[in-house]
Each structure stands twice: as structure tokens, then as C-alpha cells.
């Protein structure tokens, strides 16, 4: 936890430096006063029904109530989320189209893609980080390990014949397990699936040995005792799996595998519009009903000191650098 606090302080310091040189002009403030005078569109760069879509529709409801205009949701999937994000990066910078990005669209893709469609650090106007959700390590129910210490010992003795699944090459579920394997010092065969559902189904059937996925996806299988829950892979325990100790608690100090979601406008959006949307999103994040709905999904609303546009800008730059290390080490690349 101490390492994460130091990281947040470093990002906050970088954010303060960004703010020092980013004061809105008088013209920008005038533009911001008129926003919004029509319904804005939130692009969700993934298919309907997935975890980002579920979060986005909840966010759209509460944000619409806050700004007094309905928020139109547009699912524009493809390219691992890059297609929809690219559309927003090319939109008019007037505040009427923004994207609900993720660790995949605005961090992992920058290293995974052979030719990224955009520069996540410079082609957007960051608005606000919304929520984090940690990954959970689960294993087939007959794997002879009941906690992380036993799991690591088993992996080190048997990694040559083990397999782990994921929702697809380059997804956060894949990279989370890659980071885990690297930290433990083992090389395990990866079995990519077309989504987290099929990957979980094969784990339940015993065809693979373990899986790293977000808590809301694996919670029901854990409750039904179809799989073994080994560890929460983020620093904090999951709010929907409060009895499952984190990897950090079980001796894997400072291990942190997670995903996150944040709102981005097109580059060049007037600073005053960015600030108005940021302020509206902060009010939504402070709404107890919104927080409660996210908690049922295992999502944790970010702390107040992590909600500024400047913080998000510095955070994205750091995330790109952080995840490039395990991605490059894995050798995974996408066309």
C-alpha cells in the first residue's frame, strides 16, 4: 500500500505542474458557460452488455441528471476499443462527444498494437478518472493449492505443464496473469479465448489451470464453488469478495493488477468545458446511490485527490510506461 501511495503522490506532483501551465483563457471560460446546450454523446468503445458498457450506462444516467441533458450512449466497438476511441479523438472539440476509456484503450494498446491508431497521452483532453476494479486470481477447483503461497509453490514445481486462460491476447485479464507469472518467475502457456465467458467456462471444466479476471466476472463462479479463489490481485480487497485476501496480504508485496475507466474529450477542447464536465463527474462520484451501484459490480470510485483532469493526464502517461514492461516481456503484439 505504501508503494501505491508514493505513486499517487508522484502523479499528483506531476499533475500540479500541468495545472500551473493550463489556466483557462477568458474565451475558453465563455465557451464553457454555454455547455451543454444539447445532449452530449458518450462513446463506449466496446460491445453492449460488457463490463465497460454496464458502467457507462450507469454513468450516463447519473451524469445526465447532473448536467440537465440526457447523455446519449453510442457503442462503437472494434480494435480492442481503439476504433471508438479514435472516433472521439477526431471529433469536434466542443464537448459534445467524449469516450469512456479504459486501461486497454488508453494504456495497454499503446504497446500492444503494432501501429496504435492514436497517441493516448497526447490526442485527448483528459477529464476524470472514474473507477478502479481489481483482478482476481482463480484456479480450477481441483488444483492442489488453497492460498497464494501454495499456488506459487505449485506453479514453480509444475509451470511447464500448466496453462492459463484469458479473454483474449492483450486483454487486461491476459496482461494481469503475465505480470503475475513474471513476478513469480515462471513461464506458463497462455490460452486466449474470445472473451472472458468462454475462458471462465473452460476453467470451470478443468481444461485450464488458472485465470486472472475482474471480480464482478468471476464472483458467481466463486460463490458456486465452481473454481477456487486464490487472491485479489489489486492492493485492496474487492468490495464484492471481502473475505478474499489480496496478493499483497499474502506476501506478494506491492503486486497490483487492475483495470480502470476514465472520461476523455477530444484534444483541443476548451479548458472551461473540460472543467465543467469534470465538476459534473465529481458530483456523480460523490452521489451515494452511484457509488452503491458501482460497489455491486466490484468497482471502487477513485479518491477525491485522483479526480482532476491534470491527475488523469499524468496517470495515463505513467500507466503506458508501467504496462509496457510486462507486455514487451511477453512478446504479445496485435495487428
8: phi then psi, degrees, rounded to nearest 5: -60, -40
Residue 288, Cβ density class (10 Å: 0-12 exposed, 13-18 middle, ≥19 buried): exposed
pLDDT at 28: 47
Tell how strand 97-102 and strand 258-266 pair up. antiparallel
Sign of CA dihedral 283, 289, 292, 293: negative
CB atoms within 10 A of CB 297: 20
CB atoms within 10 A of CB 241: 19
Q: What would the pLDDT profile of 71-96 be if each residue is shown by its tens digit?
A: 999 999 888 889 999 999 999 999 99
Q: What would the pLDDT profile of 20-36 be if each residue is shown by its tens digit?
A: 555 555 544 555 678 99
Give me 286's grid cell: 460523490
Domains and CATH numbers, the chain: 2-133+259-330 (3.40.190.150), 135-232 (3.40.190.10)
What number of CA atoms fall less than 13 Å from residue 293's CA on the CB side? 14
The label of the residue with cell 475482474 reads: 214
Give me 272's grid cell: 472551461
pLDDT at 296: 87
pLDDT at 14: 63
66 three-state secondary structure = helix
Query: Model's pTM, two decimal places?
Result: 0.82
Residue 226's H or E segment, with its range, is none
pLDDT at 271: 97
Amino acid at each position: 500500500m505504501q508503494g501505491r501511495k508514493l505513486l499517487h503522490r508522484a502523479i499528483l506532483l506531476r499533475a500540479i505542474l500541468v495545472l500551473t501551465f493550463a489556466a483557462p483563457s477568458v474565451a475558453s471560460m465563455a465557451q464553457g458557460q454555454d455547455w451543454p446546450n444539447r445532449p452530449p454523446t458518450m462513446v463506449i468503445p466496446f460491445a453492449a452488455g460488457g463490463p465497460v458498457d454496464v458502467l457507462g450506462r450507469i454513468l450516463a444516467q447519473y451524469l445526465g441528471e447532473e448536467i440537465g441533458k440526457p447523455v446519449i450512449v453510442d457503442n462503437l466497438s472494434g480494435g480492442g476499443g481503439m476504433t471508438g476511441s479514435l472516433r472521439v479523438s477526431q471529433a469536434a472539440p466542443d464537448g459534445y462527444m467524449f469516450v469512456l476509456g479504459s486501461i486497454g484503450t488508453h494504456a495497454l494498446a499503446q504497446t500492444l498494437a503494432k501501429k496504435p491508431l492514436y497517441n493516448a497521452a497526447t490526442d485527448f483532453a483528459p477529464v476524470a478518472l472514474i473507477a478502479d476494479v481489481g483482478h482476481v486470481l482463480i484456479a480450477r477447483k481441483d488444483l492442489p493449492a488453497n492460498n497464494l503461497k501454495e499456488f506459487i509453490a505449485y506453479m514453480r514445481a509444475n509451470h511447464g505443464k500448466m496453462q492459463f486462460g484469458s479473454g483474449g491476447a492483450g486483454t487486461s485479464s491476459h496482461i494481469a496473469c503475465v505480470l503475475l507469472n513474471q513476478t513469480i518467475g515462471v513461464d506458463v502457456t497462455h490460452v486466449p479465448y474470445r472473451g472472458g465467458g468462454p475462458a471462465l467456462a473452460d476453467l470451470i471444466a478443468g481444461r485450464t489451470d488458472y485465470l486472472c479476471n475482474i471480480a464482478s466476472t468471476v464472483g458467481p463462479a466463486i460463490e458456486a464453488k465452481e473454481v477456487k479463489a486464490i487472491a485479489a490481485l489489486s492492493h485492496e480487497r474487492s468490495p464484492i469478495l471481502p473475505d478474499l485476501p489480496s496478493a499483497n496480504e499474502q506476501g506478494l508485496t506491492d503486486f497490483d493488477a487492475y483495470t480502470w475507466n476514465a472520461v476523455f474529450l477530444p484534444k483541443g477542447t476548451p479548458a472551461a468545458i473540460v472543467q465543467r464536465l469534470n465538476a459534473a463527474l465529481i458530483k456523480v462520484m460523490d452521489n451515494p446511490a452511484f457509488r452503491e451501484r458501482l460497489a455491486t459490480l466490484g468497482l471502487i470510485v477513485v479518491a477525491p485527490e485522483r479526480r482532476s483532469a491534470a491527475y488523469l493526464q499524468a496517470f495515463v502517461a505513467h500507466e503506458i510506461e508501467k504496462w509496457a514492461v510486462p507486455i514487451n516481456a511477453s512478446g504479445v503484439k496485435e495487428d
